[in-house]
């Protein structure tokens, strides 16, 4: 179990290193500038102050597709018992 976790962490670290190296080879100093403003760890750049959220960042989540997924997920959650009951009636 731990071997798999260590393998995935090592793979992720190699992928980050290789991706940064390839971007630096392609874009030079611009890639380094972007790398220094971001983080591999989610939200770490915001917490450390490397990046600032815009004042209207909540509008990013208020898109029709996100609302549809939210409504569909909640609906499926509450209709799940009925779906299970319907599946039990199929008698396969």
Q: What is the pLDDT of residue 1?
A: 74
Gap between the Cα atoms of 71 and 1, Å rounded: 36
Shared-domain flag, residues 44 and 87: no
Whether 92 shows a pLDDT value over 80: the answer reads no
Cα separation, 54 vs 85, in Å, equals 47
20-77 tens-digit pLDDT: 999 999 999 999 998 888 888 888 999 999 999 889 888 888 899 999 999 999 999 9
Residue 8 pLDDT level (bands cut at 50, 70, 90): very high
Shared domain check, 61 and 47: no
Q: Are residues 80 and 63 in the same domain?
A: yes
Is residue 80 predicted with pLDDT exceeding 80?
yes
Binning pLDDT at 50, 70 and 90, where does residue 11 land?
Answer: very high
**Cβ–Cβ < 8 Å for 16, 40:** yes
pLDDT at 7 over 90: yes
**Are the C-beta atoms of residues 31 and 23 closer than 8 Å to each other?**
yes
Q: 20 lies in which domain range? A: 1-52
- pLDDT value at position 42? 84
Same domain, 70 and 39: no
| 47-52-56-62 Cα dihedral, nearest 10 degrees | -50
């Amino acid at each position: 179990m731990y071997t798999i976790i260590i393998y995935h962490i090592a793979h992720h670290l190699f992928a980050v290193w290789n991706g940064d190296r390839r971007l630096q080879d392609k874009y030079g100093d611009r890639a380094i500038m972007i790398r220094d403003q971001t983080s591999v760890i989610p939200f770490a750049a915001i917490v450390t102050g490397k990046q600032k959220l815009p004042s209207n960042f909540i509008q990013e989540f208020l898109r029709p597709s996100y609302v549809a997924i939210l409504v569909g997920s909640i609906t499926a959650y509450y209709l799940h018992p009925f779906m299970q009951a319907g599946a039990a009636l199929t008698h396969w």
